[in-house]
Chain A
Amino acid sequence: KAGVTQTPRYLIKTRGQQVTLSCSPISGHRSVSWYQQTPGQGLQFLFEYFSETQRNKGNFPGRFSGRQFSNSRSEMNVSTLELGDSALYLCASSLFIGLQETQYFGPGTRLLVL
């Protein structure tokens, strides 16, 4: 099975711009979670989507949004970019066995905001 794929892998933007990141989960996985990874803060949970619905949300401002499509692919959008948004954005798709969930990660999109 193909793993989680994320596009683009690298992105350079300037302050004030907006950006859209894409994630394709492992085939058959219906849940997609997004994380922001920075050296000082580690992995911070952004949100989770399941069957096109946001099921869980972290403590990020409204500039961060996402959506999920009927094929489980997900996009994440950040508007009005700030320098502090520079980070590695990770997508994970989840395998559920009963209530047991295991997340599998993509390679990430490295965003640099100048």
Chain B
Amino acid sequence: AQSVSQHNHHVILSEAASLELGCNYSYGGTVNLFWYVQYPGQHLQLLLKYFSGDPLVKGIKGFEAEFIKSKFSFNLRKPSVQWSDTAEYFCAVNAGNNRKLIWGLGTSLAVNP
């Protein structure tokens, strides 16, 4: 069965630190990849997505993610986090003909000012 794994469940950083959140999926074919963010008290928002083309994808608020097919990974990065980045981050994968989005369990990020 297809699955998505987010290795870091809780991350605590200080402002200006660099961020990398891991996401790995299990599917050998064509995938569409997404990162969503859920700020406290707010709804899920799309951060960025990858369908095809350049494996380095830039999203909103300075986030980017790199699709590495050989590693089945789609890690999220930001060079310098801010307190306002405190949120829960979800990786999701849509694989093959199965149109269901498969979700990771999320990573809770806390940024200390």
Chain A residues in the interface with B (C-beta under 8 A) = 33, 41-43, 45, 48, 55-56, 58, 90, 92, 100-108
The one of A48, A107, A108 that contacts B100, using a Cβ cutoff of 8 Å: A48
What is the CB-to-nearest-CB distance from B52 to chain A, in angstroms, rounded to a whole number?
A: 8
For the complex, is B43 an interface residue (Cβ under 8 Å from A)?
Answer: yes
| Chain A residue nearest in CB terms to B6 | A42
Task: Give complex CA distance A17, B99 in Å.
Answer: 32
Q: Which residues of B contact A105 (CB under 8 A)?
A: 36, 43-45
Interface flags for B37-75 (1: CB within 8 Å of A; 0: not) read 000001111100101000000000000000000000000
B interface residues, how many (CB within 8 angstroms): 21
For the complex, is B82 an interface residue (Cβ under 8 Å from A)?
Answer: no
Interface flags for B14-53 (1: CB within 8 Å of A; 0: not) read 0000000000000000001010100000111110010100
Q: Which residues of B contact A101 (CB under 8 A)?
A: 32, 94, 99
Q: Which residues of B contact A90 (CB under 8 A)?
A: 43-44
What is the CB-to-nearest-CB distance from B76 to chain A, in angstroms, rounded to a whole number?
A: 16
Q: Are B100 and A45 in contact (CB under 8 A)?
A: yes
Q: Are B44 and A45 in contact (CB under 8 A)?
A: no
The one of B32, B100, B106 that contacts A56, using a Cβ cutoff of 8 Å: B100
10 contacts between A and B (CB under 8 A): A33-B101, A42-B90, A42-B103, A42-B104, A56-B99, A56-B100, A58-B100, A90-B43, A102-B49, A105-B45
Task: Give complex CA distance A90, B38 in Å.
Answer: 12
Q: Are B46 and A108 in contact (CB under 8 A)?
A: no
Task: Give complex CA distance A92, B46 in Å.
Answer: 11
Within 8 A of A (CB), among B83-98: 90, 92, 94
| Chain A residue nearest in CB terms to B106 | A42
Q: Which residues of A contact B49 (CB under 8 A)?
A: 102
Q: Which residues of B contact A42 (CB under 8 A)?
A: 90, 103-106
Q: Which residues of B contact A56 (CB under 8 A)?
A: 99-100
What is the CB-to-nearest-CB distance from A68 to chain B, in angstroms, rounded to a whole number?
A: 16
Contact A100-B104, Cβ < 8 Å, known A43-B90, A90-B44, A105-B43: no
Q: Which residues of B contact A108 (CB under 8 A)?
A: 43
Task: Give complex CA distance A76, B60 in Å.
Answer: 31
